[in-house]
Amino acid sequence: MNIERWLRVIAGVFIILSLVLAKFLSPYWLLFTAFIGLNLLQSGFTGWCPMVTILKSIGVQPCNEAKQS
């Protein structure tokens, strides 16, 4: 899998995990959900995401550019 797919999977898992933890442990876990959402929002505007930096450092490949015909 490429970075973009890993990023979506990780964000989805973190959001679901934080919602489950908020339901069964403490509503303060919703702050983690908000953090993920804010991080996704800022990366949409700036083009920089900390998780992409982490994934690149462990060797995950970026997706190939779509070929123009």
Q: Cα Rg for the chain, rounded, in angstroms?
A: 15
Q: In terms of pTM, does the model score above 0.85?
A: no
Domain enclosing residue 18, as ranges: 3-57
Q: Is residue 66 part of a domain?
A: no
As a whole number, the mean pLDDT across the chain is 90
Q: Is residue 25 part of a domain?
A: yes
At residue 63, does pLDDT exceed 90? no
The count of structural domains within the chain is 1
Q: Is residue 31 part of a domain?
A: yes
Question: Among residues 33, 61, 39, 63, which one has the least CA distance to residue 51?
Answer: 39
pLDDT band at 64 (very low <50, low <70, confident <90, very high): confident
